């Protein structure tokens, strides 16, 4: 179970850290260039890494949840992970039709949820 916990923490680091970096990187790139292909390339690469990390988080979290007592904190964490995943799916599927401001706002909400999830995880 220790290895699963390690993979869970590593995946959380990649997912949350990636959201933080993306939040700082995209506005800087937008100020530098109007070339949409640059932002699309960043988003595509980030998508591969973040979906992999989120998938591993769900898988390892599911495996670890059987060793835990179900508390309100754990239920809240699971609910927020599900909400984050749903927002990420919607964001990915609808990104082409959304304005940069809407995409940024959604990404910001996902980042805030991720930080809350991380905080809740430290209380378990």
- By the 8 A CB rule, do 45 and 22 touch? no
- By the 8 A CB rule, do 5 and 64 touch? yes
Q: Which residue has the tokens 């959604």?
A: 106
- By the 8 A CB rule, do 46 and 18 touch? yes
List of residues 6+ apart from 47 with CB closer than 8 A = 92
Q: What is the pLDDT of residues 85-113, one digit of tens each?
A: 999 999 888 888 888 889 889 999 999 99
* Count of structural domains within the chain: 1
Q: What is the pLDDT of residue 69?
A: 83
Domain range for 75: 2-122
Report the distance separating Cα 53 and Cα 59, nearest Å.
10
Which residues of the chain carry a pLDDT beneath 70?
Answer: none
Q: What is the pLDDT of residue 66?
A: 86
């Amino acid at each position: 179970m220790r290895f699963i916990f390690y993979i869970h923490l590593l995946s959380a680091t990649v997912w949350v850290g990636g959201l933080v970096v993306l939040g700082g990187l995209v506005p800087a790139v937008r100020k530098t260039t109007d070339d949409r292909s640059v932002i699309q390339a960043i988003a595509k690469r980030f998508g591969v890494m973040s979906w992999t990390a989120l998938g591993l988080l769900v898988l390892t979290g599911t495996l670890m949840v059987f060793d835990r007592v179900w508390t309100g904190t754990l239920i809240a964490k699971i609910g927020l992970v599900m909400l984050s995943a749903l927002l990420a799916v919607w964001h990915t599927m609808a990104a082409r039709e959304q304005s940069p401001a809407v995409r940024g706002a959604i990404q910001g909400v996902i980042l805030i949820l991720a930080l809350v999830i991380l905080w809740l995880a430290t209380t378990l």
